[in-house]
Each structure stands twice: as C-alpha cells, then as structure tokens.
Structure 1
Amino acid sequence: MGGMPAAKRPAAPFTPLAFQLVLLRRMADHNPELVEAARRELGVSITDMRDANKRWQAMLRSPHGRAAAARYRSVLGAPESTAPRILGDLECESWQWPLPLWPGLRFEVLAAPNGAVWNEWLVRAPGAEPPPLRTLDDLTPWSCTVDEVARAFAPVRPLEGTAPTRWGLAFTAPDARGERRICAAEFTWGLLQRTALTDQFA
C-alpha cells in the first residue's frame, strides 16, 4: 500500500547542487568560514553537505560506476563549452561547466578519448578578468586558480598535494614591503585555499 520499500527505492539523482557541496566539503578543511557562508547561500545544511560527499565517494568506489568522464556528464549535464587540448604528446578535450557559487570560474575536466579524466579543477571563466596578483597580500583564499598563480609568480615548483584534488606550488613573490619571500600555496579543486612562508624552494 505504501509503495516501494525505502531500501528498494532508486536513489535521487546526484545534482549540480550536490556536486558543489562535494567541492565545499574538501575546502572546509582550510576555510570553514568561507564554506559556511557558501553553504548558507545555497540553503543547505551541514548534513546535506556530508551526505553529498558520502554519495560522491560511493560513486567513485563503485565497481559498477560510470567512467569518470561520463560521471561528470551525468551529474552536471552537457558542458557549457568543449575544446580540444594538447598536453605534451597527449590529445584530450576540455569540458567546462558553470557553477553558481563561483560565477567567475568554470569547472573543467580534461577528458581522454577513452573516457578517462586527466584533470578536474576550477579555472577562470572565458572572458572573465583574473585578479591582479602582484604581491603575497593578493593571494587571498578563493581569489585565484593554480594557473593564475603559476603565471603571476613564475617560475614555480609543483608540490605534492596533501590529499586527492589538492595541488601545491612553491615560488617567490614580493611582500607588502617589496621584499622577495619564498611562499608555498595550497589549492583544492584548483582554487587557492591558503599560503605560507617557507625557507625551502629548490
């Protein structure tokens, strides 16, 4: 009488909103205040964020799950834009989607012909003006992407991320007084999370 038992009901679709919660869940380790504000903007609870991340992790680990590229299309829909991309000797395709939380950015997936994903992160939206990056004071959380920091403070040295979806860069940049300092920056899903001065570069 009551319909299909709860245990047998099909799971609700994993939506673009839920995917934004997945991004936020990883960023909360470094910037809980920013994540809290974003969560309130989306009108969701902490439980919603945790549940979305739990479902995403289950999708990643499922032996019957979709290929990575197909999974993003199923969650985010058709990309807003696609373009061929060459990485060294490898050819792939760039897919980009808008996300309401970051209107000046796009979520980019670099997809191989076989459906594998080589990279997945936030990049500046086409035509959007990147922030001016001149000193360490300009490197505020969520203000810029990996590519933008790498261009502004070249040369940079990649650092091993502390977890999946994290990247690091080491570089020198002037502080507010113009003194060159050695800095390490950490990114989650391609977006700057924090910076720290360090005495090691090479």
Structure 2
Amino acid sequence: MGGMPSAEPFTPLHFQLVLLRRMADHNPGLVENARRELGVSAGEMREANKRWQAMARSPRARGAARRYRSVLGPPESTAARRVGDLDCEALLWPVPLWPGLRFEVLLAPDGGVWNEWLIRAPGAPAPRLRTLEDLTPWSCTVEEAARAFAPARPLQGTAPTRWGLAFTAPDAQGVRHDVAAEFTWGLLQRTGAGPAAGPGSP
C-alpha cells in the first residue's frame, strides 16, 4: 500500500483500518492477522485512524452520514427500521474483512446518525451461540448475543464505539455464569465476569 499522505482519498480500505484500530486494544493478535491480510503496516493503520478522527472533528466536517457515503460510496442496500418510537433508515455497506457482516448506519428522521456498527449481513447464517465457549472474539454482534442469551441488559461502553451487555450464560457443563460482554463497532471483543442481567433486553 505504501505511504498514505493526507491528500490521498480516504477509501473503504482505510475505513477497515479504522475499525481494526479500535479493536487492537482487546485483540491485538486478530488485528495483526487482519492487517497483514490487507497488506498494510501498523503505522498506516494508525495514520488512517488519525485521519478519520481529524475528518470527524474538523470545523468543516461533513455530517456523519455524508462522510460515510463519501468514504464507502453508495450503500449496498437501504431499509426502513423501527427503533423504539423512531422510524429510521438503515444504510448497509459490505466489509471485505468480514464477508458475513455489514456496516450499518441508522439515520433518524431528521437525518442524524442514530447508530453505527457491524451487523450480520441479511441472509447470512447467524452463529450458534449456546454456551460461554461459543462467545469467542469476533464471533457475534451485539444483537446476536442479546438475542441468544436473553434477557440481556446494556452496559455503559468505555468509548463512543464500544458497547457492553450483561447476561447469564451456561458453560459447556451447564453451569450458569453472570457475564459482561464487550463489543467494539458492534462486534464481540471479549467476555468476563459481570453483574447479573436484569429483566428486559436492549
């Protein structure tokens, strides 16, 4: 890929590096493998993330939805989505690193971005999530974990692109555990002991 001067267009490849950079704190080995698969250096990944942050914070920054369109191109598909009392529009883009996933941007009725994360691609088979052992890094999305281990409740994320879920799940021997699962850009990063999940789900 070579150097990446700031004048170079920001492409879908660069955006994948932004996703990976946020995941590197939890899973450096997986990120390293993915980075090599893309044929880029660690420095290029850091530079892509730096440029993305600068784009988002610039006084002349485009709205988030326009920024995603300018970087990722036209969405692969759009769909109406009901979220609570809001009628949202979901924009989906493919992510070559994860062929079974799509990057989803939810637009509120006023055009603002309500949410942005990875989801399972429409029609793609969902993972089988039955025990703690199934919850491996990058194995599932927030929605899939919440559905498989309902009732689950949201936990405060440690950064804008991070989410948490608390739920109860059995291990391979059938012993149930209170679990806290951490997600980055909607994709599972790690699990640990957590508070008991209350009634209801996110």
Q: How high is the TM-score relative to the length of structure 2?
A: 0.93
Give the letter aligned to residue 161 of structure 1.
Answer: G
Q: Secondary structure at the match of 1:19?
A: helix
> 2:91 aligned with 1:76, yes or no?
no
Letter in 1 for 2:68: Y
- Decide which of 81, 99, 103 is 1:103's aligned counterpart: 99
2-side partners of 1:171 and 1:89: how far apart? 25
User: 2:161 matched to which residue of 1?
Assistant: 165
Residue 40 of structure 1 corresponds to 36
> Which residue does 2:55 correspond to in 1?
59
Any conservation in 2 of the 1:67–1:115 contact (CA below 8 Å)?
A: no
Match of 2:25 in 1: 29
Corresponding position of 2:16: 20
1:88 shift after superposition: 1.8
User: What's the RMSD between the two structures over aligned residues?
Assistant: 1.3
Among candidates 166, 175, 195, match of residue 171 of structure 2: 175
Contact in 1 for aligned 2:132/2:171 (Cα 8 Å): yes
Question: Aligned AA for 1:69?
Answer: A
In structure 2, give the amino acid aligned to 1:152: A
Q: Could you say which residue in structure 2 is the equivalent of 1:85?
A: 81
Q: CA–CA distance in 1 between the matches of 2:111 and 2:64?
A: 7
Aligned to 2:149: 153
CA distance in 1, matches of 2:168, 2:13: 37
Contact 1:82 1:94 in 2 (8 A): yes
Preserved CA contact (<8 Å) 1:171 1:201 = yes
Secondary structure of the residue that 1:58 maps to in structure 2? helix
Deviation at 1:198, TM superposition (A): 2.8
Counterpart of 1:62 in structure 2: which amino acid?
A: S
Q: How many corresponding residue pairs?
A: 194
Partner AA of 2:157 in structure 1: G
Gaps of 5+ in 1: 1-8
In structure 2, distance between residues paired with 1:11 and 1:84: 36
- Residues 109 and 119, structure 1, Cα contact 8 Å, conserved in 2: yes
Does the CA contact (< 8 Å) of 2:167 and 2:196 recur in 1?
Answer: no
Unaligned runs of 5+ in 2: none
Q: Which runs of 4+ in 1 moved over 6 A?
A: none
Q: Please tell me whether residue 193 in structure 1 is matched to residue 181 in structure 2.
A: no
Deviation track 1:35-82 (CA, whole Å, cap 9, x = no partner) reads 000000000000100000000000110111111101000000000000
With over 3 angstroms needed to count, the CA separation of the structure-2 counterparts of 1:152 and 1:10, relative to structure 1, is closer
Verify: 1:114 aligned to 2:118, yes or no.
no
Match of 1:136 in 2: 132
